[in-house]
Structure 1
Amino acid sequence: MPRTKKKKSKGGQHGAVQPFSDEDASIETLSHCSSFSDSTSVADEGGDGSEDTAQEDFQYKLKGFIDSTVDKSAKTRQGALDGLKTAMATRILYEFISERRMTITDSIERCLKKGKGEEQRAAASLACLLCIQLGSGIESEEVFKTLKPIFKNILVDGSANIQARQAVATSLGLCTLVAEDDVLDVQATMECFENLFTRSYARADGTCPSINPQTSQLHTNALLSWALLLTICSANQLKEILRKHLPKLPKLLESEDVNMRIVAGETIALLFELARDTEPEFEFEEWDQLCIKLSALATDCNKHRAKNDKRKQRSVFRDVLKAVEDGDFQSETIRFGTERMSIDSWVRKRTYDAFREFVGSGMNYHLQANEFIRDVFELGPPILVDSATMKAMKISRFERHLHNSAAFKARTKARSKFRDKRVDVGEF
């Protein structure tokens, strides 16, 4: 990327960090033209200087965030981490980040080791976004090699902040998927997750352990990450996992925590799908009892449960029941830019949900522009779109409001005329 001129200090590096606004994010989300990389600016393609200035301001702000991650103030560090997270979720920044990846990694490491709850949570999420930006390769492997031991130390430390452990349980799973190059290390990480969520399994006498909501969320996050790594297991690994865990996972369907019940159900559906992919005639000895349990959850009328929980649970378990009984999956189409992608399996759904957990509303943009994510979902190279097409596609919120208002007025007028005609007919 061309070097930008150094700007004068705006209040010093140690001032309060200003997090990104929606406007800051939107500047970069659709500013790409003919290339999704930040290596080409609008000015290079013949655009006006205002876009190029916005690009410079954006990069200047990012540099400020990186500097502020080592500030003495916890509030300033938190703001800097959040600012970097928003930027990475809404923009492809490969070249900018690649040059500074070790600096950012050092900041994440420091915040994980010395920070408290929310700061550690933000640092763990930023680590994931950094790996997503760098993609699968030596750069992300170096980042993960530095952070993995810290992640695992926090995860297994019962005295560590519970929010930090929850965040690490989620981030470790996706970072492993993106940046781990050793099959045995993937297996070791899965065992770390197993050591957590299996504590929610029923005891030998059939009773369920009493677990507080925060710990239950930790176990749920561990199960989600474990399920994500199931999607890259070999057939032999899967066979051993099915033998060891499939008979016990249904006990998690009796958990008091609705999120644990749902994640357990989706993981069971995923296991059945993977098992049938490797062995079409796969059979489970306790299949009948499992289907009865899933059917009960799909029609749950328990008065002691919240209505929203029951509604959400019934919807999920109808799909899980179809998966276990018939091998069916309720497919969904994701539209982004001029393209579309089908979520047509539990494997694809678990992978999609894992990435969306971190990039949020930027998921469609990453599907459109992030080469690594496109490779994961077999979408091919990014489709290049020129600036004129992008401007034609981009409709402002105000323009949408005017369009919707006009459509509403036209619809109201048409209905009024139709009602008048019905009145006239009635009078005759």
Structure 2
Amino acid sequence: MPRTKKKNGRGGQHGNVQPFSDEDVSIETLSHCSSFSDTASVADEGGEASEDTAQEDFQYKLKGFIDSTVDKSAKTRQGALDGLKTAMATRILYEFISERRMTITDSIERCLKKGKGEEQRAAASLACLLCIQLGSGIESEEVLKTLKPIFKYILADGSASIQARQAVATSLGLCTLVAEDDILDVHATMECFENLFTRAYARMDGTCPSISPQTSQLYTNALLSWALLLTICTASQLKDILRKYLPKLPKLLESEDVNMRIAAGETIALLFELARDMDTDFEFDDWDELCNKLNALATDCNKHRAKTDKRKQRSVFRDVLKAVEEGDFQSETIRFGTERMTIDSWVKKRTYDAFREFVGSGMNYHLQANEFIRDVFELGPPVLVDSATMKAMKISRFERHLHNSAAFKARTKARSKFRDKRVDVGEF
């Protein structure tokens, strides 16, 4: 997305600093380049001077993190990567990051090549957040061009840290969605994921290969990234994928890993949705057998499975079964600020879940302020919220709190009456 770049004249040398605390993150949730900050709160803190000072302190800390990503201490590098991740997940930092994009990319590359498990995991996640901040365009394309060969090497290297491979399997998928401009390269990346999750297929006799929980998580991450990239495939690519993979994906429903079963079910539902978008009369040869499998998982009562796993699985597979049988989707409304967005398709759900994986609790803020994410979900330009509107929102929340408190007291009083042993049973 086109953006107007502004030079930032501040600079200086910085020593090692520690990662953000929760207090640091809450100091200023919104970026200086966004129009979402509450002017009332700025006034309370002393106006523009106070805001500028807080911004300078924040940028100073960020510069310190960037410097510390090349520190000799692995612990310091890890802390710096985590600090940058937290900042990018909770703020819009386009201008600051754009000016330092190459430096940050070099640091990520160095940590991926020379670091160990957790450091590599943090670097892979930071790469994804960097692309989310930069949005779709030449800047994120250059980031991906630099890091993609390293990502693919780690992903295919059986001797590499399993934590690093798991992180790369997730990050490469979303980085490709954001930054890849060649659909053939998208397909090549999908093949890397296919080489992993197909190893989890059940055998012809119905038995499953012996896979460790960590390796199963790697295969699950690869499948979810593969499913994410399905959402941007061409019609001709989708036809080939449907022919080749839809008959085989049900084999993953036999997995001992509940997360793999769920990922497989949601991917099957996504494929059916995409197939019916291309052809409303789409038919699947093994439809009856697939529906029987999905129904069994939606009503699973196997005693050897944990209750929480069964409850989670049954909920998901009821929705998957409806998707396959009826083409139905259970809609969900996401509220953020004064706006709302409806997740009304498997395509939208997979995309939303992928972004939320990285920005976490900052997702609602990014939906408000991140132009790229708003473009992905067709939300239009960011909505400017003035202080009067924010004040009205706060008043309504306070009134709702009073109402809820009153209702709670009423319920408590009524229940106490029923519980009181002194009350004559004949009164009721």
Q: What TM-score does the superposition give when structure 2 sets the normalisation length?
A: 0.89
Check the 8 A contact 2:144/2:179 in 1, yes or no. Answer: yes
More off after superposition, 1-10 vs 280-289: 1-10
More off after superposition, 384-393 vs 58-67: 384-393
TM-superposed CA distance for 1:89, in Å, is 0.4
TM-superposed CA distance for 1:24, in Å, is 1.8
For the residue of structure 1 that corresponds to 2:112, the secondary structure is helix
Check the 8 A contact 2:319/2:329 in 1, yes or no. Answer: yes
Check the 8 A contact 1:162/1:214 in 2, yes or no. Answer: yes
More off after superposition, 410-419 vs 265-274: 410-419
Residue 426 to residue 205, structure 1, CA distance change in 2 (3 Å) = closer
TM-superposed CA distance for 1:395, in Å, is 8.6
Check the 8 A contact 1:137/1:179 in 2, yes or no. Answer: yes
- How many Å separate the matches in 2 of 1:354 and 1:106? 25
TM-superposed CA distance for 1:295, in Å, is 0.3
List per-residue Cα deviations over 1:368-418 (Å, max 9, x = no partner).
110000000000000011245445545999999998667644664687799
- How many Å separate the matches in 1 of 2:406 and 2:130? 44
Check the 8 A contact 2:322/2:328 in 1, yes or no. Answer: yes
List per-residue Cα deviations over 1:47-78 (Å, max 9, x = no partner).
34323222221111111111111111111111
Residue 152 to residue 394, structure 1, CA distance change in 2 (3 Å) = farther
Over the aligned positions, Cα root-mean-square deviation in angstroms equals 4.5
TM-superposed CA distance for 1:202, in Å, is 2.6
In the alignment, what sits opposite 1:308? 308
For the residue of structure 2 that corresponds to 1:366, the secondary structure is helix
- How many Å separate the matches in 2 of 1:58 and 1:297? 49
- How many Å separate the matches in 1 of 2:240 and 2:27? 49
- How many Å separate the matches in 2 of 1:7 and 1:19? 26
For the residue of structure 2 that corresponds to 1:2, the secondary structure is coil
Residue 179 to residue 40, structure 1, CA distance change in 2 (3 Å) = farther
- How many Å separate the matches in 1 of 2:267 and 2:329? 13
In the alignment, what sits opposite 1:152? 152
Check the 8 A contact 1:37/1:94 in 2, yes or no. Answer: no
For the residue of structure 1 that corresponds to 2:210, the secondary structure is coil
For the residue of structure 1 that corresponds to 2:11, the secondary structure is coil
Residue 29 to residue 201, structure 1, CA distance change in 2 (3 Å) = same
Residue 9 to residue 235, structure 1, CA distance change in 2 (3 Å) = closer
List per-residue Cα deviations over 1:317-340 (Å, max 9, x = no partner).
000000000000000000000000
More off after superposition, 7-16 vs 46-55: 7-16
Check the 8 A contact 1:220/1:259 in 2, yes or no. Answer: yes
- How many Å separate the matches in 1 of 2:357 and 2:198? 23
Check the 8 A contact 2:370/2:382 in 1, yes or no. Answer: yes
For the residue of structure 1 that corresponds to 2:340, the secondary structure is strand
- How many Å separate the matches in 1 of 2:398 and 2:40? 29
For the residue of structure 2 that corresponds to 1:304, the secondary structure is coil
- How many Å separate the matches in 2 of 1:272 and 1:328? 11
More off after superposition, 386-395 vs 158-167: 386-395
- How many Å separate the matches in 1 of 2:55 and 2:284? 57
Residue 71 to residue 300, structure 1, CA distance change in 2 (3 Å) = same
- How many Å separate the matches in 2 of 1:114 and 1:179? 25
Check the 8 A contact 2:25/2:90 in 1, yes or no. Answer: yes
For the residue of structure 2 that corresponds to 1:285, the secondary structure is coil
Check the 8 A contact 2:200/2:208 in 1, yes or no. Answer: yes
- How many Å separate the matches in 1 of 2:3 and 2:223? 45
List per-residue Cα deviations over 1:16-72 (Å, max 9, x = no partner).
532212222222224669725999996999934323222221111111111111111
More off after superposition, 412-421 vs 5-14: 5-14
- How many Å separate the matches in 2 of 1:188 and 1:3? 30
More off after superposition, 92-101 vs 46-55: 46-55
More off after superposition, 44-53 vs 217-226: 44-53
Residue 201 to residue 427, structure 1, CA distance change in 2 (3 Å) = closer
For the residue of structure 2 that corresponds to 1:205, the secondary structure is coil
In the alignment, what sits opposite 1:227? 227
Show the 5 A alignment for 1:159-198. Answer: 159-198=159-198
For the residue of structure 2 that corresponds to 1:395, the secondary structure is helix
- How many Å separate the matches in 2 of 1:10 and 1:18? 21
Check the 8 A contact 1:32/1:42 in 2, yes or no. Answer: no
Structure 1, unaligned runs of 5 or more: none
Check the 8 A contact 1:334/1:343 in 2, yes or no. Answer: yes
| Aligned residue-pair number | 428
- How many Å separate the matches in 1 of 2:337 and 2:202? 47
More off after superposition, 417-426 vs 28-37: 417-426
- How many Å separate the matches in 1 of 2:403 and 2:354? 35
Check the 8 A contact 2:14/2:64 in 1, yes or no. Answer: no
Check the 8 A contact 1:154/1:168 in 2, yes or no. Answer: yes
Check the 8 A contact 1:141/1:180 in 2, yes or no. Answer: yes
More off after superposition, 145-154 vs 399-408: 399-408
1:208 lines up with 2:213 in the alignment: no
List per-residue Cα deviations over 1:337-362 (Å, max 9, x = no partner).
00000000000000000000000000
Residue 14 to residue 91, structure 1, CA distance change in 2 (3 Å) = closer
For the residue of structure 2 that corresponds to 1:342, the secondary structure is strand
For the residue of structure 1 that corresponds to 2:193, the secondary structure is helix
For the residue of structure 1 that corresponds to 2:423, the secondary structure is helix
List per-residue Cα deviations over 1:125-177 (Å, max 9, x = no partner).
00000000000001111111111111001000111101000000000000000
- How many Å separate the matches in 2 of 1:319 and 1:2? 39
Check the 8 A contact 2:213/2:257 in 1, yes or no. Answer: yes
List per-residue Cα deviations over 1:269-322 (Å, max 9, x = no partner).
000000000011000000000000000000000010000000000000000000
Residue 14 to residue 113, structure 1, CA distance change in 2 (3 Å) = farther
Check the 8 A contact 1:32/1:387 in 2, yes or no. Answer: no
Residue 70 to residue 2, structure 1, CA distance change in 2 (3 Å) = farther
Check the 8 A contact 1:117/1:162 in 2, yes or no. Answer: yes
Q: Percent identity?
A: 91
In the alignment, what sits opposite 1:358? 358
- How many Å separate the matches in 2 of 1:190 and 1:411? 55
Residue 121 to residue 47, structure 1, CA distance change in 2 (3 Å) = same
List per-residue Cα deviations over 1:179-235 (Å, max 9, x = no partner).
000011000000000001011113355532111111111100000000000000111
Show the 5 A alignment for 1:231-270. Answer: 231-270=231-270
